[in-house]
Amino acid sequence: MASTQFFIFAILAVLVPSILATDFVVGDDKGWTIGFDYQTWADGKEFHVGDRLIFKYRKGNHNVLKVNGTGFQQCVAPAGTVPLTSGNDVILLATSGRKWYICGFPTHCANGQKLAITVLDGLSPAPSPTPTPAAPSPKAARGSVAPVHYWWNY
Ligand SMILES: *[C@@H]1O[C@H](CO)[C@@H](O)[C@H](O)[C@H]1NC(C)=O
Ligand SMILES: [Cu+2]
């Protein structure tokens, strides 16, 4: 008996956070590109531990580098930083705090291809009835057949 209850509890403990977590396609339909205001994109959103960022772009045209606050402002990454390059880069937000991402292609970051977010502890609140007027983008993300590359707490 007790072990059955524990088993159910263990399954719920694994499943519930993954159901409540949110996938954010960075830039929505525009994806990860230059000439997009990622600050405005991030401003209305709450990011929580367990949520995921998905950077979508044409492979070879951009990449994703995790940097610190200085690197974000100056558009530089420390030598040896390994970029994400798949064009469908999924980053699990595994810890809370400030996170910064830039594109490493010359001039792209300076042209606005940079994202700064604050990740909060705990689960996202239940999805509100009308989070955004635009509905199609999450479907487009799910229907995509592009290979998915996962990065834990990148
Ligand atoms: C932050 O990034 C800059 C630029 O890459 C680097 O010079 C600096 O050492 C980093 N600071 C910390 C605390 O890692
Ligand atoms: Cu770029």
Atom of ligand 1 nearest to the CA of 77: 5
At residue 150, the pLDDT reads: 57
- Domain span at residue 65 reads 20-120
Atom of ligand 1 nearest to the CA of 78: 5
Residue 49 in any domain: the answer is yes
Q: pLDDT by residue (tens digit) across 91-147?
A: 999 999 999 999 999 999 999 999 999 999 976 555 545 444 444 444 444 444 455
Residue with the nearest Cα to atom 13 of ligand 1? 68
Strand blocks (E) in 68-125: 88-92, 97-102, 114-120
Quick one: DSSP state of residue 112?
Answer: T
Question: How are beta strands 97-102 and 114-120 bridged, if at all?
Answer: antiparallel
Atom of ligand 1 nearest to the CA of 74: 4
Nearest ligand to residue 103 Cα: 2
Query: What is the CATH number for 92?
Result: 2.60.40.420
| Domains in the chain, number | 1
Average pLDDT over residues 44-64: 97
Average pLDDT over residues 40-66: 97
Tokens representing residue 55 in the block = 């950077």
At residue 18, the pLDDT reads: 60
Nearest ligand to residue 72 Cα: 1
